Structure 1
Amino acid sequence: MELRKCDNLFFLTEFKECFSLYDKKHKGKIEAKDLIIVMRCLGVSPTFIEVDRHLQISKIDKGGELDFSTFLTMMHQQIQQEDPRAEILEAMRMTDKQKKGYILSSELRAKLTGLGEKLTDKEGKGHKTHMPHVYERV
């Protein structure tokens, strides 16, 4: 089996397991109100507006239910619209106050060790040599 098929099978299994956890009535469906939770458990970050749009496109009201096939379609659409590379570049641009097209490794280290899930100083220093290649010139 080729690698791409293995990856797809892995994700499909993960999606089904998480979906099943929220299939409270064991009917192969989840409640629309749980959609955002299930999606976020699987690593995507939809907003409430995006979830409402997914439900509207599938003609499911907020009090309704959706099956696994519909859920897979919604997950595919959400994954396609999220672009982590663009989000990272935008964060870098926001850090580059002087608009030079790069940030100092010390600045990045300060951000990485001080925000979100904090990195240790050792983890932050591990990225130092790669910094000139991370941020594209704007």
Structure 2
Amino acid sequence: MARYFKEQDIDEFRECFYLFARSGHIKSMDELTVIMRSLGLAPTISELASYLKQKGGKMTFADFLEVMHIHSRVENLPKEVVDAFKAGDPSRKGLIPARQLRHMLQNWGECLSVKEVDRIFREANVTNNSMVKYEDFVKIACAPVPDYY
């Protein structure tokens, strides 16, 4: 896997892997979810289940590197989200009402809770009555979760 990632990236992956998979193996979807999302990726529940199933329900660090390689090749989440916003922005102003954004986050796809949306809005300095520049919002929302949450 060294041919796919820089040594610095592998070190970061290793540190995160062993922080959450203390036994040296990922044994649950929860562990895999936390590790991948901590590294800035946003796999879906079905993707996570598939990765774990392909590895027989138990994943070593080498297996995890393979999964990271496969997933990082298919995911460019910020671009995908901005493209989706652009598709729903006929005026091409780059803005969306905060109330509409809240509704989308709580009711579409993998629905977020009110508390999760409140945290994201707080981090992005969004109020319920404001207009949101969706490109800026996506950069903040897709950033890795800070340690203090």
The TM-score with structure 2 as length reference comes to 0.57
Kindly provide the amino acid, as one letter, of the partner of residue 53 in structure 1: S
Displacement over 4 Å in runs of 4+: none
Which of 84, 99, 114 is the aligned partner of 1:90?
Answer: 84
Shift of the alpha carbon at 1:54? 1.0
CA distance in 2, matches of 1:35, 1:10: 20
What is the aligned partner in structure 1 of residue 72 from structure 2? 79
Q: CA RMSD in A?
A: 3.1
Higher helix share: 1
Kindly provide the amino acid, as one letter, of the partner of residue 8 in structure 1: K
CA contact (8 A) 1:32 1:66 kept: no
Q: How many residues get paired? A: 104
Unaligned runs of 5+ residues in structure 1 are: 121-126, 128-138
CA distance in 1, matches of 2:81, 2:9: 23
In the alignment, structure 1 residue 49 sits paired with structure 2 residue 46: yes
Bigger relative CO (Cα 8 Å, ≥ 6 apart): 2
Q: In terms of mean alpha carbon deviation, does 28-37 or 40-49 score higher?
A: 28-37
Unaligned runs of 5+ residues in structure 2 are: 103-119, 127-132, 134-149
Tell which structure's C-alpha radius of gyration is larger. 1
Kindly provide the amino acid, as one letter, of the partner of residue 83 in structure 2: L
Q: Residues 58-90 of structure 1, C-alpha deviation per residue, up to 9 Å, x if partnerless?
A: 3x13xxx21001001111122122123232111
